[in-house]
Amino acid sequence: MKRHLLLATAPLAFALQGCGTFYAEAEQPRVCLAMLPQTFTIPGGGAVAPPGGFTGTYSGTIDVSLSDAIPDFLLTGQSKDRILHFLSFDASVSGPPGANLDFVSSLEVTAEGAPGSTPVVLGRYARGSQSGVITSISVQPEAQNSNLSGFVASGGITLGMSGGVSVAAGQPVPSTLTTAVTTCLSAKVHKTLQEIINGT
């Protein structure tokens, strides 16, 4: 009979002390954000490229207000228990028919959180030797193991886009770069029962 009592009380004892053992875990393998078309100014653009060609730069930022779409309790707790990884970044042409991204020679995408935080380079693109119309640019992902959740928890992620343009001599140099941006991330959150009860 003692053995039966032990059998019956063991789970109860386990449950009482096990609020840290019990957990809930959510995993989103892929969430994609398609941003409205973004326009970046190209200093020196808006004219015909001089003999020898035109090289210039562009840069800008995109605010990704993910925190509005994520319940608050998922952004609390220890950062090791909430993971946000970068998967991909694509910039596609946005503009009238015939618009082209062939003048974009390079692109670097960074992520940063609150002002003063250290940016993380998410990926880079360098135009190869391909010719013809380029309607979409995909960066080569880097730092895929970097945890970006801290940026979201501290107010949101700001994506930084910067790079270079080059136009052959005699060709028109656009004054702006307008592109539709899609970036994809994966997310995982782990919460113990104790944290769920405490709302932390």
Partner 1 sequence: MRLAALVLMVSLAAPFTAAAQAAPAPAPASVPAPVPAPVEEPYPQFGVQLAVGAPDGAVLSFVYSPWYWLLLDAGFAYTLAPGFVLGVEFRPIDFFVSPIIRGEYGYYFTGNTATQIKKWVGLPEASWPLIGDASYNWFSGLVGIALGSRRGFTATLEGGIGYLSLNVKGGSATNGNATITTEPYKVTAFMPVARISFLYFF
Question: Applying CB under 8 A, which of residues 2, 17, 20, 30 lies at the interface with partner 1?
Answer: 30
**Applying CB under 8 A, which part among 12-20, 40-48, 50-58, 134-142 lies near partner 1?**
12-20
Nearest Cα neighbor of 166 from 138, 125, 127, 132 is 127
Interaction between residue 11 and partner 1 (CB under 8 A): yes
Tell whether residue 71 is a contact of partner 1 (CB under 8 A): yes
Shortest Cβ 73–partner 1 spacing (Å): 7
Is residue 25 a contact residue for partner 1 (CB under 8 A)? yes
Q: Which residues contact 163 (CB under 8 A, 6 or more apart)?
A: 57, 58, 59, 104, 105, 106, 107, 108, 125
Choosing from 17, 51, 68, 131, the residue that interacts with partner 1 (CB under 8 A) is 68
162 closest CA partner among 109, 111, 113, 114: 109
Q: How many CB atoms lie within 10 A of CB 143?
A: 15
Residue 98's region, left for phi above 0, alpha for psi from -120 to 50, else beta, is left
Place of tokens 């052959």: 168
Give the binding range for partner 1 (CB under 8 A) out of 50-58, 64-72, 91-99, 163-171.
64-72
Cβ 114 to partner 1 shortest distance, Å: 18
Instruction: For 171, list phi and psi in degrees, rounded to 5.
Output: -95, 150
Q: Which of 99, 121, 143, 193 binds partner 1 (CB under 8 A)?
A: 193
Nearer to partner 1, 24 or 47 (CB): 24
Nearer to partner 1, 63 or 79 (CB): 63
Please check whether residue 39 is in contact with residue 181, taking contact to mean a CB–CB distance below 8 angstroms. no
CB of 189 to partner 1, least distance (A): 9
β-strand 120-126 against 157-167: which pairing, if any? unpaired
Interface residues with partner 1 (CB under 8 A) are 4, 7-8, 10-12, 14-15, 18, 21-36, 62-66, 68-69, 71-74, 193
